[in-house]
Structure 1
């Protein structure tokens, strides 16, 4: 099977971490926030029920977002660089579709050679002093069904699209007619394993290549 566009989740797919959980750990509130994240990724709570709540608890400032950006890169999943290079060599268009924080994901995308306009995530708003103000509440990626909306938009221009990810929100791509590959190299979620079109449990992301080229 071959696809024109290959979309990746970021957290627990391109990078081993869950970004918002790591910001919470830095602030000493990891257990509380991680429980909310896990409930959303396992389909127990709707994303919109946890999104604002987590950020209001953490209030990430610009310095913590810069810290997280470096952590995303240092915790790259095995085989990410090779996977992206192989897809680019085969003229595939690559996008990142994430419910994570866009300013923290952009440096990772730049390192992989993925254009800024192909990074779909949630923007954070800072004050003049770099303190946390709010997040982009209009973003489709802060609510359930958001990844399906982004995939639908992409499918208006491209005939075939695949989404690679670890969580329930990544399964939403199927609502947009996308093929969905579940990636369990970091976290194995029974719901995703059961409902994905194809499931890869290898620790290296390169295991997806036979399914997308």
Structure 2
């Protein structure tokens, strides 16, 4: 196994300290990146090492290539994009703190019934003009740093791209078209006479729905779930992460970091590329 350490401002002093602790110099050193080969540590030891030095550290199988995978799936809110869309929508009706508190509790895994938590939040949006959704998209929605580079790398390696969210089609459909993604799955807000009714149409995409979306995409392209890479940040991402060959917790809640293959707490999404041995300069 190889140890991959990353940080946007990875210093020589940190690399040297890690080398002293590992009793070996880095086999590869580049800006924001260092790699040690043949490391005899388990994943828990690597997580502790990363926390102690304030870096993103991952134990990577030798020869693990991005091109060996077929699908990359992204959660949307706070993963592919920097915001929680429902919280920003609620801001236009003066209820952001109330909605954000429910969102945060759900992402930490403290609310077990995601469907009910979503219904509660959406109900608070009743009466809001639909135009507020476009304002959130235009004025507040930003891609997470490193997202374009990761999407380009995945696409170049031949992977199909899925965006799956407990959020809303208004945003996932636009991002799918804008970014050239292959699949998108999320929830539909009911709108009547140009205003939100406070209801969601159809079956709500919860943790089980996210898992099924990944499995459906795998079936559509003819691959095993073991050939999927899944990224997310909240407790409702754990089921889809659990069926994937590789899971990445991005700036995630502790309950998620504890159960995934890798955790990125400091870097942008482009750091995912260097978890695979066909990354440039690896």
TM range (shorter): 0.7 to 0.9
Give the alignment's TM-score, normalised by structure 2. 0.67
Higher relative contact order (CA 8 A, sep 6+): 1
Preserved CA contact (<8 Å) 1:69 1:105: no
Deviation at 1:191, TM superposition (A): 0.9
| Residue 253 of structure 2: aligned partner | 189
Task: Kindly indicate whether residue 188 of structure 2 is the aligned counterpart of residue 123 of structure 1.
Answer: yes
Q: 1:99 to 1:12 in 2, by over 3 A?
A: same
| Residue 158 of structure 1: aligned partner | 223
Task: Kindly indicate whether residue 133 of structure 2 is the aligned counterpart of residue 65 of structure 1.
Answer: yes
Preserved CA contact (<8 Å) 1:166 1:189: yes
Cα-Cα RMSD: 1.9
Deviation at 1:175, TM superposition (A): 4.1
Deviation at 1:88, TM superposition (A): 1.4
Preserved CA contact (<8 Å) 1:182 1:198: yes
Question: What stretches of structure 1 of length at least 5 have no aligned partner?
Answer: none
Preserved CA contact (<8 Å) 1:170 1:180: no
Q: 1:72 to 1:86 in 2, by over 3 A?
A: farther
Deviation at 1:19, TM superposition (A): 0.5
Where do 1:4-19 residues align within 5 Å? 4-19=70-85
- Higher CA-based Rg: 2
Structure 1 counterpart SS, 2:110: coil
Deviation at 1:63, TM superposition (A): 0.6
Deviation at 1:6, TM superposition (A): 0.1
Question: What stretches of structure 2 of length at least 5 have no aligned partner?
Answer: 1-63
Of 225, 243, 255, the match for 1:176: 243
Task: Kindly indicate whether residue 183 of structure 2 is the aligned counterpart of residue 106 of structure 1.
Answer: no
C-alpha separation between the residues in 1 aligned to 2:273 and 2:208?
A: 26
1:125-152 per-position Cα deviation (integer Å, ceiling 9, x unaligned): 222x22123312313x1x3422112122
Preserved CA contact (<8 Å) 2:169 2:188: yes
Preserved CA contact (<8 Å) 1:72 1:105: no
Q: 1:114 to 1:177 in 2, by over 3 A?
A: closer
| Residue 203 of structure 1: aligned partner | 267
Deviation at 1:211, TM superposition (A): 3.0
| Structure (1/2) with the larger helix percentage | 1
C-alpha separation between the residues in 2 aligned to 1:211 and 1:176?
A: 19
C-alpha separation between the residues in 1 aligned to 2:242 and 2:265?
A: 23
| Residue 150 of structure 2: aligned partner | 83
C-alpha separation between the residues in 2 aligned to 1:154 and 1:44?
A: 29
Deviation at 1:53, TM superposition (A): 0.6
| Residue 201 of structure 2: aligned partner | 136
Deviation at 1:206, TM superposition (A): 0.1
